[in-house]
Amino acid sequence: MKKLSFFFACCLFASCSNNTTQDNNNSSTIVVKTPSLPAAPAFNSDSAYAFVKAQVDLGPRVPGTAAHAKCADYLVSKLKSYGWDTQIQNGNISTYDGKKFNLKNIIASYKPEIANRILLMSHWDTRPFADQDSINPTKPADGADDGASGVGVLLEIARQFGISKPDVGIDILLDDLEDYGKENDNGENTWALGTQYWAKNPHKPGYIAQYGILLDMVGATGATFPREGLSSEYAPYIVKTIWNKAAQLGYTNYFVQQDIHGITDDHEYIISNANIPCVDIVNWDFKIGNFAFYHHRHSDNMNVIDKNTLKAVGQTVLEVLWEEQKKKS
């Protein structure tokens, strides 16, 4: 998916504002009623799992292949069926090895009339080679976790919002060509090509979101999601909100209170090029001090996908989004 990097860009944002509001009117005759929010819907992990499997069943979604084209159609039709305004952003992209591809970023908007937006992201392409594997390193893996899992979670959130219709403005960016990077990329920006393109050419001119949440490798058994360095540096308030919500829901085994350094992933370009604070929820194996054992190997298949992990991530993110309604009231 990407190499590790340390990111020393200067701070792009003013400190995040605290979203709590204070009523400064101390008059005892005024009663401020906070409208109560109905409970958030239950994230259905069976449904999310089926979305992951449906992508994997198409074959590796390597750019330029029939499986990639079929998967784009599948994702667009699903998002449209849940009532989201959905489009494909095309663009001409050259990869580090000199190949050219027609980019397909899939963008879906929920309640586009609401000005205040939240951006959800996951890459949907599969790396063209399982280059960390000792066997068949030039052939692609299934990309069940690296790609399909984040998309599966976002499809289920899209489905739930289509049913419950909460008053929140959300855009989903399923970005293409994230995983075609050069293993030893030294600042050459060979990863996250779809996101880099979108950051320069947003689907709406001047697009801005309050914040972004990126899901990457969010479905494996026993996954642990650390507070990733760039997220903590540029979106500390959102990190706190997400990890606190996970703790409240009993998911501290997944959303661990541990920090790691910054990594190169889509959120880097959302932060630095689109000026949107963004959090990366990404599986990190503390025992081996790296991405999990299946990363860019053929073992990244449906055997690693666990409904409990999908549920932990999906319910947490869904509830964070759901509670944005409180801020509007």
For position 179 contacting Zn ion by CB under 5 A, the verdict is: yes
- In the bound complex, what is the minimum distance in angstroms from residue 283's beta carbon to Zn ion? 11
- In the bound complex, what is the minimum distance in angstroms from residue 123's beta carbon to Zn ion? 8
| Site track for Zn ion across 130-159, x = CB under 5 A | ----------------x-------------
The whole-angstrom separation of Cα 274 and Cα 117 is 14
Residue 49 CA to chain centroid, in angstroms?
Answer: 16
The whole-angstrom separation of Cα 118 and Cα 250 is 24
| Residue (130 or 199) nearer to Zn ion, CB | 130
- In the bound complex, what is the minimum distance in angstroms from residue 55's beta carbon to Zn ion? 14
- In the bound complex, what is the minimum distance in angstroms from residue 189's beta carbon to Zn ion? 16
Q: Is 29 helix (H, G, I), strand (E, B) or coil?
A: coil
| Residue (167 or 183) nearer to Zn ion, CB | 183
Interacting stretch for Zn ion, rule CB under 5 A, among 31-39, 92-100, 176-184, 187-195? 176-184
Measured CA distances, 217 to 64, 80, 169, 294 (Å): 23, 24, 25, 10
Query: Which residue's Cβ has the minimum distance to Zn ion?
Result: 1
For position 1 contacting Zn ion by CB under 5 A, the verdict is: yes
The continuous run of DSSP H or E covering 314 comes out as helix 307-322
For position 177 contacting Zn ion by CB under 5 A, the verdict is: no
Exposed e or buried b per residue across 135-173, where buried means at least 16 C-beta atoms within 10 angstroms of its C-beta: eeeeebbbbbbbbbbbbbbbbbbbbbbeeeebebbbbbb
**Interface ranges with Zn ion (CB under 5 A):** 1, 146, 179
